Chains A and B, each alone.
Chain A
Protein backbone atom coordinates (compact mmCIF):
# COMPACT_ATOMS: atom_id res chain seq x y z
CA UNK A 1 0.00 0.00 0.00
CA UNK A 2 1.22 3.48 -0.77
CA UNK A 3 1.70 5.69 2.26
CA UNK A 4 -0.40 8.81 2.20
CA UNK A 5 -0.21 10.37 5.68
CA UNK A 6 2.45 10.27 8.36
CA UNK A 7 2.18 11.64 11.88
CA UNK A 8 5.42 12.94 13.39
CA UNK A 9 6.12 13.46 17.09
CA UNK A 10 8.95 15.68 18.35
CA UNK A 11 10.04 15.89 22.00
CA UNK A 12 13.85 16.01 22.00
CA UNK A 13 14.24 19.20 24.06
CA UNK A 14 12.03 22.13 25.10
CA UNK A 15 9.33 21.64 22.43
CA UNK A 16 6.62 19.02 22.18
CA UNK A 17 5.34 19.01 18.61
CA UNK A 18 3.08 16.94 16.38
CA UNK A 19 2.43 17.22 12.68
CA UNK A 20 0.77 15.43 9.80
CA UNK A 21 2.35 15.47 6.34
CA UNK A 22 1.18 13.99 3.07
CA UNK A 23 3.25 11.90 0.72
CA UNK A 24 3.60 14.92 -1.61
CA UNK A 25 5.30 16.89 1.14
CA UNK A 26 2.33 19.05 2.17
CA UNK A 27 2.49 19.95 5.85
CA UNK A 28 -1.18 19.55 6.79
CA UNK A 29 -0.70 20.58 10.40
CA UNK A 30 2.19 21.53 12.67
CA UNK A 31 1.25 22.03 16.30
CA UNK A 32 3.76 22.73 19.04
CA UNK A 33 3.93 23.71 22.68
CA UNK A 34 7.23 24.91 24.11
CA UNK A 35 8.26 24.71 27.75
CA UNK A 36 9.41 28.22 28.68
CA UNK A 37 12.45 28.29 30.92
CA UNK A 38 12.75 30.90 33.64
CA UNK A 39 15.11 33.80 32.81
CA UNK A 40 18.67 32.98 33.81
CA UNK A 41 18.13 29.24 33.60
CA UNK A 42 18.33 26.68 30.81
CA UNK A 43 16.04 23.77 30.03
CA UNK A 44 15.48 21.56 33.05
CA UNK A 45 15.08 18.03 31.59
CA UNK A 46 12.56 16.80 34.17
CA UNK A 47 10.48 19.98 34.11
CA UNK A 48 10.44 19.90 30.31
CA UNK A 49 9.39 16.23 30.38
CA UNK A 50 6.57 17.05 32.84
CA UNK A 51 5.46 19.82 30.50
CA UNK A 52 5.47 17.44 27.53
CA UNK A 53 3.38 14.85 29.41
CA UNK A 54 0.80 17.52 30.20
CA UNK A 55 0.44 18.89 26.66
CA UNK A 56 1.00 15.70 24.62
CA UNK A 57 -2.62 14.58 24.26
CA UNK A 58 -3.85 18.03 23.21
CA UNK A 59 -0.98 18.69 20.78
CA UNK A 60 -1.42 15.34 19.03
CA UNK A 61 -5.21 15.58 18.80
CA UNK A 62 -4.95 19.19 17.52
CA UNK A 63 -2.46 18.02 14.87
CA UNK A 64 -4.90 15.38 13.65
CA UNK A 65 -7.97 17.63 13.72
CA UNK A 66 -6.23 20.54 11.95
CA UNK A 67 -5.10 18.11 9.26
CA UNK A 68 -8.74 16.93 9.14
CA UNK A 69 -7.87 13.27 9.34
CA UNK A 70 -8.44 10.52 11.87
CA UNK A 71 -5.86 8.26 13.47
CA UNK A 72 -7.17 5.39 11.35
CA UNK A 73 -6.21 7.24 8.15
CA UNK A 74 -2.55 7.45 9.13
CA UNK A 75 -0.04 5.19 7.39
CA UNK A 76 2.69 5.52 9.96
CA UNK A 77 3.67 7.13 13.25
CA UNK A 78 7.13 8.69 13.25
CA UNK A 79 8.95 9.73 16.40
CA UNK A 80 12.27 11.41 17.18
CA UNK A 81 14.17 8.84 19.28
CA UNK A 82 17.23 11.08 19.58
CA UNK A 83 19.53 12.82 19.96
CA UNK A 84 18.16 14.80 22.88
CA UNK A 85 17.33 14.84 26.57
CA UNK A 86 16.42 11.37 27.86
CA UNK A 87 13.39 12.31 29.99
CA UNK A 88 11.94 14.43 27.16
CA UNK A 89 12.57 11.79 24.50
CA UNK A 90 10.78 9.16 26.56
CA UNK A 91 7.54 11.17 26.55
CA UNK A 92 7.41 11.36 22.75
CA UNK A 93 8.47 7.72 22.39
CA UNK A 94 5.79 6.54 24.82
CA UNK A 95 3.06 8.48 23.02
CA UNK A 96 4.22 7.20 19.61
CA UNK A 97 4.47 3.56 20.73
CA UNK A 98 0.99 3.71 22.27
CA UNK A 99 -0.55 5.25 19.15
CA UNK A 100 1.18 2.88 16.73
CA UNK A 101 0.16 -0.15 18.71
CA UNK A 102 -3.45 1.05 19.31
CA UNK A 103 -3.93 2.06 15.66
CA UNK A 104 -1.91 -0.92 14.37
CA UNK A 105 0.29 1.33 12.25
CA UNK A 106 4.04 1.03 11.56
CA UNK A 107 6.33 2.88 13.96
CA UNK A 108 9.10 4.90 12.27
CA UNK A 109 12.17 5.96 14.30
CA UNK A 110 13.59 9.31 13.17
CA UNK A 111 16.89 10.97 14.02
CA UNK A 112 16.05 14.56 15.00
CA UNK A 113 19.03 16.01 13.06
CA UNK A 114 18.01 14.17 9.89
CA UNK A 115 14.59 15.80 10.42
CA UNK A 116 16.21 19.27 10.32
CA UNK A 117 17.98 18.36 7.05
CA UNK A 118 14.90 16.87 5.36
CA UNK A 119 12.53 19.70 6.28
CA UNK A 120 15.24 22.03 4.94
CA UNK A 121 15.46 20.29 1.58
CA UNK A 122 11.65 20.00 1.39
CA UNK A 123 11.02 23.71 1.98
CA UNK A 124 13.89 25.02 -0.19
CA UNK A 125 13.96 22.51 -3.04
CA UNK A 126 17.68 21.90 -2.43
CA UNK A 127 18.87 18.80 -4.29
CA UNK A 128 22.45 18.01 -3.37
CA UNK A 129 23.49 20.65 -0.83
CA UNK A 130 26.34 21.14 1.56
CA UNK A 131 24.33 21.27 4.81
CA UNK A 132 24.99 23.67 7.67
CA UNK A 133 23.06 22.39 10.68
CA UNK A 134 22.95 24.89 13.52
CA UNK A 135 20.87 24.47 16.67
CA UNK A 136 21.17 24.01 20.40
CA UNK A 137 22.34 20.45 19.83
CA UNK A 138 24.33 20.70 16.60
CA UNK A 139 26.86 22.81 14.78
CA UNK A 140 27.91 20.66 11.85
CA UNK A 141 28.82 20.87 8.17
CA UNK A 142 27.59 17.85 6.22
CA UNK A 143 27.55 16.39 2.73
CA UNK A 144 25.84 13.27 1.48
CA UNK A 145 28.02 10.41 0.27
CA UNK A 146 27.80 6.63 0.18
CA UNK A 147 24.30 6.39 1.64
CA UNK A 148 24.95 8.51 4.73
CA UNK A 149 25.47 12.12 5.75
CA UNK A 150 29.19 12.72 6.32
CA UNK A 151 30.56 15.29 8.74
CA UNK A 152 33.05 17.62 7.07
CA UNK A 153 33.35 19.96 9.99
CA UNK A 154 31.76 20.56 13.36
CA UNK A 155 32.23 22.27 16.68
CA UNK A 156 34.98 20.83 18.83
CA UNK A 157 33.15 21.81 22.00
CA UNK A 158 29.86 23.73 22.46
CA UNK A 159 27.38 24.45 19.66
CA UNK A 160 26.45 27.87 18.31
CA UNK A 161 23.05 27.58 20.02
CA UNK A 162 24.81 26.68 23.29
CA UNK A 163 27.06 29.71 22.98
CA UNK A 164 24.07 32.06 22.78
CA UNK A 165 22.02 30.24 25.43
CA UNK A 166 24.88 29.94 27.94
CA UNK A 167 25.78 33.60 27.46
CA UNK A 168 22.14 34.54 27.92
CA UNK A 169 21.84 32.47 31.07
CA UNK A 170 24.64 34.46 32.69
CA UNK A 171 22.86 37.74 31.99
CA UNK A 172 19.43 36.48 33.07
CA UNK A 173 17.78 36.13 29.69
CA UNK A 174 15.49 33.14 29.05
CA UNK A 175 16.52 30.52 26.50
CA UNK A 176 16.41 29.95 23.57
CA UNK A 177 18.12 33.32 23.50
CA UNK A 178 19.29 33.71 19.90
CA UNK A 179 16.59 36.23 18.86
CA UNK A 180 17.21 38.45 21.91
CA UNK A 181 20.96 38.42 21.42
CA UNK A 182 20.41 39.35 17.79
CA UNK A 183 18.20 42.24 18.87
CA UNK A 184 20.77 43.52 21.38
CA UNK A 185 23.52 43.13 18.78
CA UNK A 186 21.61 45.27 16.29
CA UNK A 187 22.01 48.27 18.64
CA UNK A 188 25.79 48.33 18.22
CA UNK A 189 28.41 48.43 15.49
CA UNK A 190 31.33 48.85 17.86
CA UNK A 191 33.53 45.79 17.47
CA UNK A 192 35.46 44.62 20.52
CA UNK A 193 38.17 42.04 20.02
CA UNK A 194 37.21 38.44 20.87
CA UNK A 195 38.94 35.10 20.12
CA UNK A 196 38.35 33.69 16.64
CA UNK A 197 39.10 29.96 16.46
CA UNK A 198 38.83 27.98 13.23
CA UNK A 199 40.80 24.73 12.95
CA UNK A 200 40.57 23.46 9.40
CA UNK A 201 36.86 22.75 8.90
CA UNK A 202 36.11 22.82 12.63
CA UNK A 203 35.19 25.63 15.00
CA UNK A 204 35.57 26.01 18.76
CA UNK A 205 33.24 28.29 20.73
CA UNK A 206 34.03 27.64 24.39
CA UNK A 207 36.83 30.24 24.53
CA UNK A 208 34.59 32.80 22.84
CA UNK A 209 31.94 32.27 25.54
CA UNK A 210 34.44 32.78 28.36
CA UNK A 211 35.98 35.84 26.69
CA UNK A 212 32.58 37.43 25.96
CA UNK A 213 31.52 37.10 29.60
CA UNK A 214 34.88 38.47 30.74
CA UNK A 215 34.48 41.50 28.44
CA UNK A 216 31.08 42.17 29.91
CA UNK A 217 32.41 41.97 33.48
CA UNK A 218 35.26 44.31 32.62
CA UNK A 219 32.77 47.01 31.70
CA UNK A 220 32.06 46.67 27.96
CA UNK A 221 28.47 47.45 27.02
CA UNK A 222 26.06 44.54 26.57
CA UNK A 223 25.18 45.64 23.03
CA UNK A 224 28.85 45.82 22.01
CA UNK A 225 29.56 42.35 23.40
CA UNK A 226 26.46 40.83 21.76
CA UNK A 227 27.35 42.45 18.44
CA UNK A 228 30.98 41.29 18.57
CA UNK A 229 30.19 37.79 19.81
CA UNK A 230 27.64 37.38 17.04
CA UNK A 231 30.06 38.75 14.42
CA UNK A 232 32.90 36.45 15.51
CA UNK A 233 30.80 33.30 15.97
CA UNK A 234 28.99 33.63 12.62
CA UNK A 235 32.17 34.59 10.73
CA UNK A 236 33.98 31.55 12.17
CA UNK A 237 31.26 29.18 11.02
CA UNK A 238 31.08 30.86 7.61
CA UNK A 239 34.82 30.38 7.13
CA UNK A 240 34.62 26.70 8.11
CA UNK A 241 31.75 26.27 5.64
CA UNK A 242 33.77 28.04 2.97
CA UNK A 243 36.61 25.54 3.40
CA UNK A 244 34.20 22.62 3.05
CA UNK A 245 32.55 24.26 0.06
CA UNK A 246 35.88 24.82 -1.71
CA UNK A 247 36.67 21.15 -1.11
CA UNK A 248 33.33 19.56 -2.05
CA UNK A 249 32.47 22.06 -4.83
CA UNK A 250 28.77 21.77 -4.07
CA UNK A 251 26.49 24.24 -5.81
CA UNK A 252 24.02 24.72 -2.94
CA UNK A 253 24.43 25.44 0.76
CA UNK A 254 21.45 24.58 2.97
CA UNK A 255 21.16 26.38 6.30
CA UNK A 256 18.84 24.58 8.72
CA UNK A 257 18.13 24.18 12.45
CA UNK A 258 17.05 26.66 15.12
CA UNK A 259 19.94 29.12 14.67
CA UNK A 260 19.18 29.26 10.91
CA UNK A 261 16.75 32.02 11.89
CA UNK A 262 19.70 34.31 12.74
CA UNK A 263 19.82 37.13 10.18
CA UNK A 264 23.54 37.80 10.61
CA UNK A 265 24.41 34.18 9.91
CA UNK A 266 22.10 34.12 6.88
CA UNK A 267 23.71 37.26 5.47
CA UNK A 268 27.29 36.08 5.99
CA UNK A 269 26.64 32.69 4.44
CA UNK A 270 24.99 34.30 1.41
CA UNK A 271 27.97 36.63 0.94
CA UNK A 272 30.41 33.72 1.10
CA UNK A 273 28.39 31.37 -1.08
CA UNK A 274 28.27 34.02 -3.84
CA UNK A 275 32.09 33.91 -4.01
CA UNK A 276 31.89 30.25 -5.03
CA UNK A 277 29.11 30.43 -7.62
CA UNK A 278 26.78 28.53 -5.33
CA UNK A 279 23.34 29.44 -4.00
CA UNK A 280 22.18 29.69 -0.38
CA UNK A 281 19.07 27.77 0.66
CA UNK A 282 17.53 28.70 4.00
CA UNK A 283 14.93 26.51 5.68
CA UNK A 284 11.48 28.16 5.71
CA UNK A 285 11.05 30.31 8.81
CA UNK A 286 8.34 28.30 10.66
CA UNK A 287 10.53 25.18 10.52
CA UNK A 288 13.83 26.58 11.82
CA UNK A 289 13.03 25.62 15.41
CA UNK A 290 12.20 22.10 16.60
CA UNK A 291 8.82 20.96 15.28
CA UNK A 292 6.71 17.91 14.52
CA UNK A 293 6.84 18.62 10.75
CA UNK A 294 10.57 17.80 10.53
CA UNK A 295 9.89 14.42 12.14
CA UNK A 296 6.74 13.74 10.12
CA UNK A 297 8.47 14.46 6.79
CA UNK A 298 11.70 12.54 7.56
CA UNK A 299 9.39 9.79 8.86
CA UNK A 300 7.43 9.79 5.58
CA UNK A 301 10.66 9.33 3.61
CA UNK A 302 11.82 6.53 5.91
CA UNK A 303 8.40 4.86 5.85
CA UNK A 304 8.39 4.78 2.04
CA UNK A 305 11.88 3.25 2.15
CA UNK A 306 10.63 0.56 4.55
CA UNK A 307 12.58 1.86 7.57
CA UNK A 308 10.11 0.88 10.28
CA UNK A 309 10.84 -0.70 13.66
CA UNK A 310 9.28 -3.13 16.13
CA UNK A 311 8.23 -1.47 19.38
CA UNK A 312 10.88 -3.46 21.28
CA UNK A 313 13.55 -1.79 19.14
CA UNK A 314 12.51 1.78 19.82
CA UNK A 315 14.43 2.64 22.95
CA UNK A 316 15.35 6.32 23.03
CA UNK A 317 18.87 7.18 21.84
CA UNK A 318 19.96 10.41 23.58
CA UNK A 319 23.39 10.45 21.87
CA UNK A 320 22.41 9.16 18.43
CA UNK A 321 24.90 10.53 15.86
CA UNK A 322 23.41 11.47 12.52
CA UNK A 323 26.27 10.00 10.50
CA UNK A 324 25.24 6.56 11.80
CA UNK A 325 21.81 6.77 10.15
CA UNK A 326 21.40 4.94 6.80
CA UNK A 327 19.51 7.11 4.30
CA UNK A 328 18.13 4.71 1.66
CA UNK A 329 15.78 7.32 0.15
CA UNK A 330 18.56 9.61 -1.08
CA UNK A 331 20.83 8.92 -4.03
CA UNK A 332 24.39 10.18 -4.18
CA UNK A 333 24.20 13.02 -6.65
CA UNK A 334 20.58 14.02 -6.70
Chain B
Protein backbone atom coordinates (compact mmCIF):
# COMPACT_ATOMS: atom_id res chain seq x y z
CA UNK B 1 0.00 0.00 0.00
CA UNK B 2 3.03 2.25 0.11
CA UNK B 3 2.12 3.72 -3.26
CA UNK B 4 -0.61 5.67 -1.49
CA UNK B 5 1.78 7.36 0.92
CA UNK B 6 1.90 11.08 0.68
CA UNK B 7 -0.69 11.06 -2.05
CA UNK B 8 -2.15 14.56 -2.06
CA UNK B 9 -5.68 13.28 -2.68
CA UNK B 10 -5.90 11.89 0.87
CA UNK B 11 -7.97 12.19 2.95
CA UNK B 12 -10.61 11.39 0.40
CA UNK B 13 -14.37 11.38 1.02
CA UNK B 14 -15.60 7.97 -0.17
CA UNK B 15 -19.15 7.89 1.18
CA UNK B 16 -21.66 10.33 2.63
CA UNK B 17 -24.61 8.83 4.51
CA UNK B 18 -27.41 10.52 6.43
CA UNK B 19 -25.40 10.92 9.63
CA UNK B 20 -21.77 10.18 8.85
CA UNK B 21 -19.01 10.82 6.35
CA UNK B 22 -16.49 8.09 5.52
CA UNK B 23 -12.96 9.14 4.58
CA UNK B 24 -10.02 7.17 3.28
CA UNK B 25 -6.86 8.54 4.86
CA UNK B 26 -3.29 7.89 5.82
CA UNK B 27 -2.66 6.63 9.37
CA UNK B 28 1.03 6.32 10.23
CA UNK B 29 1.92 4.98 6.82
CA UNK B 30 -1.09 2.73 6.34
CA UNK B 31 -4.41 3.37 4.66
CA UNK B 32 -7.22 3.74 7.15
CA UNK B 33 -10.92 4.64 7.25
CA UNK B 34 -12.26 7.53 9.30
CA UNK B 35 -15.95 7.71 10.20
CA UNK B 36 -17.11 11.18 11.18
CA UNK B 37 -20.49 11.87 12.66
CA UNK B 38 -21.20 15.38 11.38
CA UNK B 39 -22.99 18.09 13.38
CA UNK B 40 -26.58 18.73 12.35
CA UNK B 41 -27.76 22.33 12.10
CA UNK B 42 -31.29 21.32 13.05
CA UNK B 43 -30.38 20.15 16.57
CA UNK B 44 -29.55 22.45 19.48
CA UNK B 45 -25.84 22.11 20.12
CA UNK B 46 -26.03 20.40 23.56
CA UNK B 47 -28.36 17.76 22.15
CA UNK B 48 -26.37 17.38 18.94
CA UNK B 49 -23.02 16.80 20.62
CA UNK B 50 -24.51 14.36 23.14
CA UNK B 51 -26.11 12.29 20.39
CA UNK B 52 -23.01 12.17 18.23
CA UNK B 53 -20.77 11.36 21.18
CA UNK B 54 -22.93 8.57 22.60
CA UNK B 55 -23.52 6.98 19.20
CA UNK B 56 -19.80 7.00 18.40
CA UNK B 57 -19.01 5.39 21.76
CA UNK B 58 -21.83 2.88 21.33
CA UNK B 59 -20.70 1.87 17.85
CA UNK B 60 -17.02 1.46 18.75
CA UNK B 61 -17.99 -0.45 21.88
CA UNK B 62 -20.11 -2.85 19.80
CA UNK B 63 -17.28 -3.34 17.31
CA UNK B 64 -14.93 -4.12 20.16
CA UNK B 65 -17.36 -6.65 21.67
CA UNK B 66 -18.01 -8.22 18.26
CA UNK B 67 -14.27 -8.75 17.89
CA UNK B 68 -14.14 -10.41 21.31
CA UNK B 69 -16.93 -12.74 20.17
CA UNK B 70 -14.71 -13.81 17.29
CA UNK B 71 -16.31 -11.78 14.51
CA UNK B 72 -13.92 -10.14 12.05
CA UNK B 73 -14.56 -6.40 12.17
CA UNK B 74 -12.11 -3.63 11.23
CA UNK B 75 -9.69 -2.93 14.10
CA UNK B 76 -10.34 0.41 15.75
CA UNK B 77 -7.13 2.42 15.73
CA UNK B 78 -8.14 5.72 17.18
CA UNK B 79 -11.20 7.14 18.88
CA UNK B 80 -11.84 10.86 19.17
CA UNK B 81 -14.91 11.22 21.34
CA UNK B 82 -14.94 15.04 21.31
CA UNK B 83 -14.94 15.08 17.50
CA UNK B 84 -17.35 12.10 17.34
CA UNK B 85 -15.07 10.31 14.93
CA UNK B 86 -12.97 7.18 14.89
CA UNK B 87 -10.29 5.67 12.69
CA UNK B 88 -10.33 2.00 11.81
CA UNK B 89 -8.39 -0.50 9.75
CA UNK B 90 -8.96 -0.25 5.98
CA UNK B 91 -10.50 -3.44 4.63
CA UNK B 92 -10.43 -3.25 0.89
CA UNK B 93 -13.50 -5.24 -0.04
CA UNK B 94 -15.36 -5.70 -2.41
CA UNK B 95 -18.66 -5.78 -0.57
CA UNK B 96 -20.34 -9.17 -0.47
CA UNK B 97 -23.08 -7.67 -2.61
CA UNK B 98 -20.57 -6.92 -5.37
CA UNK B 99 -18.73 -10.21 -5.01
CA UNK B 100 -21.89 -12.34 -5.29
CA UNK B 101 -22.48 -10.96 -8.77
CA UNK B 102 -19.17 -12.24 -10.10
CA UNK B 103 -18.22 -15.49 -8.31
CA UNK B 104 -19.14 -19.06 -9.31
CA UNK B 105 -22.34 -20.57 -7.81
CA UNK B 106 -20.44 -22.90 -5.50
CA UNK B 107 -18.37 -19.98 -4.19
CA UNK B 108 -21.36 -17.73 -3.58
CA UNK B 109 -23.02 -20.49 -1.56
CA UNK B 110 -19.84 -20.90 0.48
CA UNK B 111 -19.62 -17.16 1.17
CA UNK B 112 -23.24 -17.00 2.33
CA UNK B 113 -22.79 -20.08 4.50
CA UNK B 114 -19.77 -18.39 6.08
CA UNK B 115 -21.84 -15.27 6.66
CA UNK B 116 -24.49 -17.42 8.35
CA UNK B 117 -21.89 -18.77 10.79
CA UNK B 118 -20.63 -15.26 11.46
CA UNK B 119 -24.06 -13.81 12.23
CA UNK B 120 -24.87 -16.83 14.42
CA UNK B 121 -21.70 -16.17 16.43
CA UNK B 122 -22.60 -12.48 16.66
CA UNK B 123 -26.06 -13.37 18.01
CA UNK B 124 -24.68 -15.99 20.41
CA UNK B 125 -22.30 -13.30 21.63
CA UNK B 126 -25.29 -11.17 22.69
CA UNK B 127 -25.09 -8.67 19.81
CA UNK B 128 -27.32 -7.72 16.90
CA UNK B 129 -26.25 -5.72 13.86
CA UNK B 130 -29.45 -3.75 13.27
CA UNK B 131 -28.74 -2.88 9.64
CA UNK B 132 -27.66 -6.21 8.19
CA UNK B 133 -27.36 -6.10 4.40
CA UNK B 134 -24.85 -7.61 2.00
CA UNK B 135 -23.50 -4.10 1.45
CA UNK B 136 -22.41 -4.08 5.09
CA UNK B 137 -20.24 -7.18 4.65
CA UNK B 138 -16.78 -6.90 3.10
CA UNK B 139 -15.00 -9.86 1.53
CA UNK B 140 -11.22 -9.59 1.78
CA UNK B 141 -10.00 -12.51 -0.34
CA UNK B 142 -12.79 -14.66 1.06
CA UNK B 143 -12.47 -13.51 4.67
CA UNK B 144 -15.71 -11.76 5.65
CA UNK B 145 -15.75 -8.57 7.75
CA UNK B 146 -18.85 -6.95 9.25
CA UNK B 147 -19.04 -3.17 9.08
CA UNK B 148 -21.39 -0.32 10.06
CA UNK B 149 -22.63 -1.10 13.57
CA UNK B 150 -24.34 2.32 13.80
CA UNK B 151 -27.77 0.78 14.43
CA UNK B 152 -26.50 -2.25 16.35
CA UNK B 153 -27.27 -3.20 19.91
CA UNK B 154 -26.58 -5.49 22.81
CA UNK B 155 -29.57 -7.78 22.67
CA UNK B 156 -30.42 -11.42 23.17
CA UNK B 157 -34.04 -10.98 22.09
CA UNK B 158 -35.40 -13.19 19.36
CA UNK B 159 -37.19 -10.15 17.92
CA UNK B 160 -33.95 -8.23 17.29
CA UNK B 161 -32.19 -11.29 15.88
CA UNK B 162 -35.19 -11.91 13.63
CA UNK B 163 -34.96 -8.37 12.28
CA UNK B 164 -31.32 -9.01 11.31
CA UNK B 165 -32.38 -12.03 9.24
CA UNK B 166 -35.36 -10.23 7.77
CA UNK B 167 -33.27 -7.25 6.66
CA UNK B 168 -30.64 -9.53 5.14
CA UNK B 169 -33.26 -11.56 3.26
CA UNK B 170 -34.86 -8.37 1.94
CA UNK B 171 -31.48 -7.03 0.79
CA UNK B 172 -30.65 -10.30 -0.99
CA UNK B 173 -34.05 -10.31 -2.64
CA UNK B 174 -33.74 -6.77 -3.95
CA UNK B 175 -30.26 -7.13 -5.46
CA UNK B 176 -29.82 -10.81 -6.36
CA UNK B 177 -33.26 -11.79 -7.57
CA UNK B 178 -32.18 -14.78 -9.67
CA UNK B 179 -30.47 -16.76 -6.92
CA UNK B 180 -31.75 -15.09 -3.78
CA UNK B 181 -33.33 -18.28 -2.38
CA UNK B 182 -30.17 -20.26 -3.00
CA UNK B 183 -27.97 -17.77 -1.15
CA UNK B 184 -30.39 -17.21 1.73
CA UNK B 185 -30.70 -21.00 2.18
CA UNK B 186 -26.90 -21.23 2.24
CA UNK B 187 -26.87 -18.46 4.86
CA UNK B 188 -29.40 -20.39 6.98
CA UNK B 189 -27.40 -23.63 6.75
CA UNK B 190 -24.39 -21.77 8.17
CA UNK B 191 -26.52 -20.09 10.84
CA UNK B 192 -28.07 -23.41 11.82
CA UNK B 193 -24.66 -25.12 11.99
CA UNK B 194 -23.76 -22.83 14.90
CA UNK B 195 -27.05 -22.31 16.78
CA UNK B 196 -28.63 -25.71 16.06
CA UNK B 197 -31.77 -26.64 14.16
CA UNK B 198 -34.11 -25.87 17.07
CA UNK B 199 -32.99 -22.25 17.43
CA UNK B 200 -33.07 -21.82 13.68
CA UNK B 201 -36.73 -22.86 13.54
CA UNK B 202 -37.54 -20.51 16.45
CA UNK B 203 -35.98 -17.56 14.73
CA UNK B 204 -37.58 -18.33 11.35
CA UNK B 205 -40.98 -18.45 13.03
CA UNK B 206 -40.20 -15.07 14.57
CA UNK B 207 -39.24 -13.69 11.15
CA UNK B 208 -42.61 -14.79 9.74
CA UNK B 209 -44.40 -13.24 12.70
CA UNK B 210 -42.63 -9.90 12.17
CA UNK B 211 -43.46 -10.01 8.47
CA UNK B 212 -47.11 -10.69 9.18
CA UNK B 213 -47.27 -7.70 11.50
CA UNK B 214 -46.48 -5.64 8.43
CA UNK B 215 -44.23 -3.16 10.16
CA UNK B 216 -41.29 -4.51 8.19
CA UNK B 217 -43.12 -5.88 5.19
CA UNK B 218 -41.85 -5.22 1.69
CA UNK B 219 -42.26 -1.54 0.99
CA UNK B 220 -40.30 -0.68 -2.10
Could you tell me which A residues sit within 8 Å of B by CB distance?
A: 145, 150-152, 191, 193, 196, 199-200, 231-232, 234-235, 238-239, 242-243, 245-247, 267-269, 271-272, 275, 323
Contacts and interface: CB of A to CB of B under 8 A. Distances in A.
A231 B47 contact: yes
Nearest to B16: A246
B47 A200 contact: no
A245 B40 CA distance: 15
A239 B37 CA distance: 13
A231 B41 contact: no
B65 interface: no
Contact of B41 (A191, A196, A234, A271): A271
A288 to B, nearest CB: 20
Contacts of A272: 40-42
B99 interface: no
Contacts of A232: 47
Given A196-B47, A232-B47, A271 B42 contact: yes
B10 to A, nearest CB: 24
B178 interface: no
A191 B46 contact: yes
Contact of B42 (A152, A200, A247, A268): A268
A231 B48 CA distance: 11
A151 B217 CA distance: 10
A150 B51 contact: no
Contact of B44 (A150, A191, A239, A323): A191
A271 B17 CA distance: 17
B124 interface: no
Nearest to A238: B42
24 contacts: A151-B219, A152-B219, A191-B44, A196-B51, A199-B151, A200-B151, A231-B43, A231-B44, A235-B42, A235-B44, A235-B47, A238-B42, A239-B40, A239-B42, A242-B18, A243-B18, A246-B17, A246-B18, A267-B42, A269-B42, A271-B41, A271-B42, A272-B40, A275-B41
Contacts of A246: 17-18
Interface in B135-179: 151
Binding site of A, secondary structure by majority: helix, strand, loop or mixed? Answer: helix
B220 interface: yes
Contacts of A268: 42
Contacts of B47: 191, 196, 231-232, 235
A269 B42 CA distance: 8
B80 to A, nearest CB: 22
Interface string B207-220: 00000000000011
A200 B46 CA distance: 22
Interface string B21-47: 000000000000000000011111011
B131 interface: yes
Nearest to B150: A200
A268 B54 CA distance: 22
Pick the 9 closest A-B CB pairs, nearest first.
A268-B42, A246-B18, A243-B18, A271-B42, A150-B219, A235-B43, A271-B41, A242-B18, A238-B42
A323 B215 CA distance: 12
Given A193-B46, A242-B18, 12 more contacts: A145-B220, A196-B51, A200-B131, A231-B47, A235-B40, A239-B19, A242-B40, A247-B18, A268-B42, A271-B41, A272-B42, A323-B219
A247 B19 CA distance: 12
Contacts of B131: 200
A44 B219 CA distance: 35
Contacts of A145: 220
Contacts of B43: 231, 235, 239
A235 B47 CA distance: 9
B220 to A, nearest CB: 6
A235 B51 CA distance: 11
Contacts of A242: 18-19, 40
B40 A150 contact: no
A322 B111 CA distance: 40
